[in-house]
Amino acid sequence: MPKRKRRPKIGPQPPGLHVRLLARLKSVVHRLRHQLKGAKRTRRFREGFLPKLKGERWDRLLRHRWRRSRFAKEMLPPILARLWAYARLTRIHRPIGTFLLLWPTLWALWLAGGGHPSPLHFVVFVVGTFLMRSAGCAMNDFADRSIDAHVWRTEDRPLARKEIHAWEAVMVFAVLSTAAFFLAWLTLDRLALILAIPGAFLAASYPFVKRYTHLPQLYLGLAFGWGIPMAFAAETGTVPKIAWLLLIVNVLWATVYDTMYAMADRPDDLKIGVKSTAILFGELDRLIIGLLQLAVLLGLALAGLQLQLAPVFYYGLGAAACFGLYEQWLIRDRDPQRCFQAFMNNNWFGAAVFAGIILQTTFTSV
């Protein structure tokens, strides 16, 4: 029987042109869809941080997201609170002490420089005054940390409220004092640098003097006036007699304004046993303050005569005398608030003297 012929096996035929075009189109569509999804995700990610908003809507959205952020809600408030505590510790928000320390330094700097002190020395002494006053405030709060809580005017200080630790105040003093000494070491000559060492000791030890004597104001005058011999040493290379006369004048002036300051705290100081000239002078406080003010003006006038300053310098002394009379009027009833106001007014006393020095330099022919 004849064998049947087997049909040849037909293999897969190559796809036609329309099939290939359709496959290619599907591939392109799939790729485009994938790219569009990625672009949408990227856009959504970016819009989470930088949405396309304008004007107030943009500001409101930023403020809203900032307030809801973990950094703003949990991390930033403690940092700001600690920085504010350090600012209050160093009295940055109350610059009156810086001015009272700065005025006698500027008196000496202008007189030593003949009315034209070195700009470098001016910057150094201004910055150094700010640093040392802040350092002294930190050490003062450390020394009075158990006292300030019992005085109405100091009960809100950070150490009294236990917002910071005592060792932090000591560290602030050390850092600021080191910065001031390093600044002096870089810019001042040897004599001025040597004089800076007892100046740092005076600033560190003053807060403890009030526990042992009724005359801490005299010690404060030395601490606040130590920039006078330093300024003469920086400008002239020596410390003449006129520098020590100005230092004595500053000691008397510091006794005046710090006694007014202590008069505001006298009721509390009597309770807690803190010593001051306000307690020592007693009922004679206004009379003694007036005599000291007169001695300050006479000392400045004597310094003007020795330096042969122009008559316009004494116009500044006349203005300072008017401020002194106003202070006497403020403390007439020994009201604590008025006594503190009189203390603050001494800023204008020092500014008036400095204005007289500036004017006599500018108008020497008057």
- Residue 172 CA to residue 163 CA, distance in Å, equals 14
Give per-residue pLDDT as tens, 143-192. Answer: 888 877 777 777 788 888 888 888 999 999 999 999 999 999 999 889 99
Give per-residue pLDDT as tens, 321-351. Answer: 999 999 999 999 989 899 999 999 999 999 9
Closest to 94 in 3D by CA, of 150, 153, 30? 153
Give per-residue pLDDT as tens, 104-144. Answer: 999 999 999 888 899 999 999 999 999 999 999 999 888 88
The alpha carbons of the chain give a radius of gyration, in whole angstroms, of: 37
pLDDT average, residue stretch 7-18: 54
- Residue 347 CA to residue 323 CA, distance in Å, equals 10
Which range has highest mean pLDDT (26-40, 61-75, 298-312)?
A: 298-312
Give per-residue pLDDT as tens, 211-253. Answer: 788 888 888 899 999 999 999 999 999 999 999 999 999 999 9
Q: What SS3 string covers the chain?
A: CCCCCCCCCCCCCCCCHHHHHHHHHHHHHHHHHHHHHHHHHHHHHHHCCCCCCCHHHHHHHHHHHHHHCHHHHHHHHHHHHHHHHHHHHCCCCCCHHHHHHHHHHHHHHHHHCCCCCCHHHHHHHHHHHHHHHHHHHHHHHHHCCCCHHHCCCCCCCCCCCCCCCHHHHHHHHHHHHHHHHHHHHHHCCHHHHHHHHHHHHHHHHHHHHCCCCCCHHHHHHHHHHCHHHHHHHHHHCCCCHHHHHHHHHHHHHHHHHHHHHHHHHHHHHHHHCCCCHHHHHHHHHHHHHHHHHHHHHHHHHHHHHHCCCCCHHHHHHHHHHHHHHHHHHHCCCCCHHHHHHHHHHHHHHHHHHHHHHHHHHHCCCC
| Residue in this structure with the two tokens 């001031």, named with its chain if needed | 180
- Residue 356 CA to residue 366 CA, distance in Å, equals 12
What's this model's pTM, rounded to 2 decimal places? Answer: 0.78
Cβ–Cβ < 8 Å for 256, 296: yes
Closest to 122 in 3D by CA, of 132, 134, 109? 109
| Residue in this structure with the two tokens 């160093």, named with its chain if needed | 90
User: What residue ranges define each of the domains in the chain, with the CATH number in brackets?
Assistant: 79-362 (1.10.357.140)
